[in-house]
Structure 1
Amino acid sequence: MPHLIRKFFITILLFSLFCLSNPSNVMAATQPQNITPTQLEELDNLFNQALDASNNGDFTNAEQLWTQILEQYPDNPAIWSNRGNIRLSQNKIEAAISDYEKAIEIVPLAPDPYLNRGIAYERLEKWSEAIADYNQVIELDPTDPVAYNNRGNAEAGLGEWEKATEDYKKASELAPEYAFARANYSLALYQIGETQKAIKTIKGLVRKYPNFADMRAALTACLWEQGKKGEAESNWVAAVGLDPRYQDLDWVANIRRWPPTLVNSLQKFIKIE
């Protein structure tokens, strides 16, 4: 289910703060001694290149640039965490975990490396390890909606759908505009048998976000089970027009990670179609 990889703010040398994430996560690096203006300018340029490459999806180049900065400033946890994010984006999962662990070693009370390491553990289907990391984030910041949503994802991986439902609900209460937390909540409701409440939530999301392909596809499956074939087919046309991946049940089940009951409902629709 969807995740949000988060980045640190970071201060390097005499730079101003460069915004990479939530202001509460500012991490200050140790100030080196005897830095020359030329060296400062070179590092400033290197940092900006790394940031631009990261934001533009040039992950191979971004990883090389963050590594160059780390060679000069290995005690900055934000740089370790940011390189971990780039490695995770390239599916270098073990390498990303190693970077997050280094960031945690340097500053154990920063929540973002735990959050991102949890995402990496989920990629490896290490659900319990992921939950432990999300628990740590929640202990550090009990109002973090992403941590609750992600813990719900990991609980779903274990088949603990009641727990997942509660965490998705908490995430959507903490951040009412966090649409995917609300979407995950609706799917979990469907899995635990609260069908009418699930459909009501899904319909509300479709009204608010008409181009939300995930909810259009979910509504298709729900309506088909109810025998509302015309409405189901109309929503399906919209869903696959927005995102054709929903035609692939393997993707829906194993990448998007819908709950099995809803996957079965969508499978019935697709087979008839």
Structure 2
Amino acid sequence: MNRKTLFLISLLLSGCLGSFSQTPQQWRDSLAVLNKQISITPYSSDLYLRKAAVNIELQQWDYALDTYNEILKKDPTNLAALYYRAFVNGKMRRYDLSASDYEKMLTFAPTNIEARLGLAYTYIKRGKPTDALDQYGLIIEQHPDSAVAYASRACLEEEMQRYDIALYDWEKAVELQPSNNDYIYSKASLLVKMNRKKEARECLEELVRRGVATGEIHSMLMQCK
């Protein structure tokens, strides 16, 4: 999987958690407190969701999955539990189950961008790039100002060697979020593939002006000679 895809997946699947920086031991301590609260408190979906979030931080996928299952038994329309159960199933490579939860969530919240991006990702992992492109098209129709949507589609189009269309989407992503250096680097990388080295170098020189260390993009600069 290429650098750009990894970046976008990380943004989608970890950025949504909104977690605080803690050590593994601090997370385990938090989990112990939550388990104790759950044992002495009447059922609270909030407590269960917080516990499952800590399970995710500790990469305890089975425990997180069991917790989301428990929540959804009591409240089948709990959108947070549906979303994160889909996320956990994805981490466990159960992409069909992950897709099913994203689809359920979208029946209740059809314009939810995170769920639709997640569903597109499951299509990619199941070897259905055309279906993934359809999802990205829906996202862009619903959220025309989403730089992440354009960038995600650009990643897939580039992997499918649809370079002209991918370049359009990278340019849209940069237009919508001009401060994002990753998007500019990704655009430069594609321009190199297209043998448009002068334009690629201009992108890289812009990154240098922004303070990106030359060493970080040295190999790309050399390809632009």
TM-score by length of 1: 0.63
**Is the 8 Å Cα contact of residues 96 and 120 (structure 1) preserved in structure 2?**
yes
Structure 2 matches for 1:84-163, cutoff 5 A?
84-163=86-165
Tell me which residue corresponds to 2:68: 66
* The one of 158, 178, 181 aligned to 1:179: 181
Per mean C-alpha deviation after superposition, the further-off stretch among 69-78 and 129-138 is 69-78
Tell me which residue corresponds to 1:39: 42
SS of alignment partner, residue 109 of structure 1: coil
The verdict on how the C-alpha distance between 1:157 and 1:140 changes in structure 2, with shifts beyond 3 A counting, is same
Separation (CA, whole Å) in 2 of partners of 1:162 and 1:210 = 29
Offset from partner CA, 1:105-156 (integer Å, 9 cap, x none): 2322322211111122222342211111111111111111110001111211
Displacement after TM superposition at 1:162 (Å): 0.8
Superposed CA RMSD in Å reads: 2.8
The verdict on how the C-alpha distance between 1:161 and 1:8 changes in structure 2, with shifts beyond 3 A counting, is closer
Displacement after TM superposition at 1:6 (Å): 5.2
The verdict on how the C-alpha distance between 1:94 and 1:119 changes in structure 2, with shifts beyond 3 A counting, is same
Stretches of structure 2 lacking an aligned partner (at least 5 in a row): 20-39
SS of alignment partner, residue 87 of structure 1: helix
**Is the 8 Å Cα contact of residues 115 and 133 (structure 1) preserved in structure 2?**
yes
The verdict on how the C-alpha distance between 1:90 and 1:179 changes in structure 2, with shifts beyond 3 A counting, is farther
Separation (CA, whole Å) in 2 of partners of 1:61 and 1:163 = 42
SS of alignment partner, residue 5 of structure 1: helix
What's the % identity of the aligned pairs?
22
Amino acid at match of 2:12: I
SS of alignment partner, residue 103 of structure 2: helix
The verdict on how the C-alpha distance between 1:176 and 1:75 changes in structure 2, with shifts beyond 3 A counting, is same
Per mean C-alpha deviation after superposition, the further-off stretch among 52-61 and 73-82 is 52-61
Tell me which residue corresponds to 2:35: none
Separation (CA, whole Å) in 2 of partners of 1:96 and 1:82 = 9
Amino acid at match of 2:178: P
Per mean C-alpha deviation after superposition, the further-off stretch among 185-194 and 202-211 is 202-211
**Is the 8 Å Cα contact of residues 197 and 224 (structure 2) preserved in structure 1?**
no
**Is the 8 Å Cα contact of residues 189 and 220 (structure 2) preserved in structure 1?**
no
The verdict on how the C-alpha distance between 1:67 and 1:109 changes in structure 2, with shifts beyond 3 A counting, is same
TM-score by length of 2: 0.75
Displacement after TM superposition at 1:224 (Å): 5.4
Q: Which has the higher helix share?
A: 2
**Is the 8 Å Cα contact of residues 204 and 221 (structure 2) preserved in structure 1?**
no
SS of alignment partner, residue 75 of structure 1: coil
Separation (CA, whole Å) in 1 of partners of 2:62 and 2:128 = 26
Tell me which residue corresponds to 2:33: none
**Is the 8 Å Cα contact of residues 86 and 99 (structure 2) preserved in structure 1?**
yes
The verdict on how the C-alpha distance between 1:55 and 1:209 changes in structure 2, with shifts beyond 3 A counting, is farther
Tell me which residue corresponds to 1:270: none
Separation (CA, whole Å) in 2 of partners of 1:127 and 1:85 = 19
Separation (CA, whole Å) in 2 of partners of 1:220 and 1:128 = 33
Structure 2 matches for 1:187-198, cutoff 5 A?
187-198=189-200
The verdict on how the C-alpha distance between 1:181 and 1:59 changes in structure 2, with shifts beyond 3 A counting, is farther
